[in-house]
Amino acid sequence: MIHMISTGMPVHDHPSGTPRPSNGHAAVSGGPTATFEAVTPTLASAWLEKNTHNRPRQTRLVNRYAQLMTEGRWLVTSDAIAFDTSGRLVNGQHRLGAIVKSGTAQTMLVARGLAPDVFQVIDYGKKRSAADTLAVEGYKNASVMAAMCKLVFNWESGNLRRALHGSIENGDVIRIASGYPEIEAMVTHAFRHAKDFSGMVPASYMCFIYWAFARHGSVQTARIGQFTEQVATGIGFTSKRDPSYLLRQLLLDDAMSRKQNLVRLSGQARIAAIIHAANAFMQSEELVKLRIKTDPFPEPICGLELNL
């Protein structure tokens, strides 16, 4: 049984995250507890010292969360900052790091007294999908948008290569969707070609590359819009060295191979090819052949790096 207390204020400011008696275990009577608390930078810093058995912290993700907090756009979710019975932090290191970096206090759900091996089963079992969560929140094209948010999340984390493997928390999906409010409109815009992309490439891949460039201003929006439309429709190529032409041919050939159960491109290779083609197109380069290079994994060349 979990005892829930919704206070919105700190229950205590104990640096370990769990008041502990002499035996070293959490002072929890009747089982685990969960409370909504205001977590200050000082408290967050102290709690991070208890982060002794967790995945490596991703600086890019911490920076993004910190930006949302600084701008007042952080949302309170049901995803708890969690400690086991020994006071060890088992969930929430990125949010705590962001609180420290932003210098702001944030209301967080804090769970204490969990079993020491709880980390092995966090997020196991059937749960609401990311698309379900977005749909409930009123977002359109929820399935494509959920896949798109996953791409953006891994791009933020500096690991776009990982986007096709594993999953992300629904709370992170909502934070991405709300933190980048332009995503929904851009997905809606790019989604109009979803049927054209069908069979060639997941619509979320093309939505991601459209978003990556279009968020940098009207000039890049028009240019990347031309790229995605040419790939989708097969109309408007300047030559057979046009990156959009080469990408479309690559994706069509791959789609045919898939239908015939022949050797086909991996999802990573397709995303890498899209990024390579888009980078070349945005810089008005012609290509003899489209590279499919995944090591190092390519990044969209956006903003001031482009000579438009």
Question: What digits encode the pLDDT tens for the residues 151-207?
Answer: 888 887 777 776 666 677 788 888 888 888 888 887 887 667 766 776 788 888 888
CA atoms lying within 13 Å on the CB side of residue 263: 1
Phi, psi angle pair for 275, to nearest 5°: -65, -45
pLDDT of residue 235: 92
pLDDT in tens, 58-104: 787 788 889 889 999 898 888 899 999 989 998 888 899 999 999 99
Half-sphere exposure of 38 (CA within 13 A, CB side): 8
8 A C-beta contact, residue 287 and residue 246:
yes
Q: What pairing do the DSSP bridges indicate for beta strands 81-84 and 33-39?
A: unpaired
Q: Please tell me the distance from the alpha carbon of residue 35 to that of residue 38, in angstroms, as a whole number.
A: 10
Which of 112 and 199 is assigned the larger pLDDT?
112
DSSP class per residue in 49-82? TT--SSPPP-HHHHHHHHHHHHTT-----S--EE
Looking at residue 250, its pLDDT comes to 94
Q: Rounded to whole angstroms, how far apart are CA atoms 212 and 23? A: 52
pTM over 0.75: no
CA distance 253 to 273: 13
Q: Which residues pair with 5 in a beta bridge?
A: 35
Q: Which residues pair with 36 in a beta bridge?
A: 6, 109
Longest dimension (CA), the chain: 76
Tell me which residue of 191, 98, 109 sits closest to 146, measured CA to CA.
191
> What residues contact residue 42 under an 8 Å CB cut-off, 6+ apart?
13
| Segment 159-167 long-range contacts (CB within 8 Å, at least 24 positions apart) | 159/58, 160/271, 160/297, 160/299, 161/268, 161/294, 161/297, 163/271, 164/267, 164/268, 164/271, 167/123, 167/130
Residue position matching structure tokens 């959490």: 26
145 φψ region: left (φ > 0), alpha (ψ -120 to 50), beta (else): alpha
Condensed to tens digits (0 to 9), the pLDDT of residues 263-299 reads 788 888 899 999 999 999 999 999 999 988 888 888 8
Q: What is the mean pLDDT of the chain?
A: 80
The residue among 140, 87, 135, 80 whose CA lies nearest residue 107 is 80
196 CB-side CA count, 13 A: 15
Buried b (16+ CB within 10 A) or exposed e, 16-43: bbbebeeeeebebeeebbbbbbebbbeb
Contact 3, 34 (CB under 8 A): yes
Residue 173 sits at the vertex; the CA angle it makes with 150 and 11, to the nearest 5 degrees, is: 140
Give Cα 234 distance to the centre of its chain.
Answer: 31
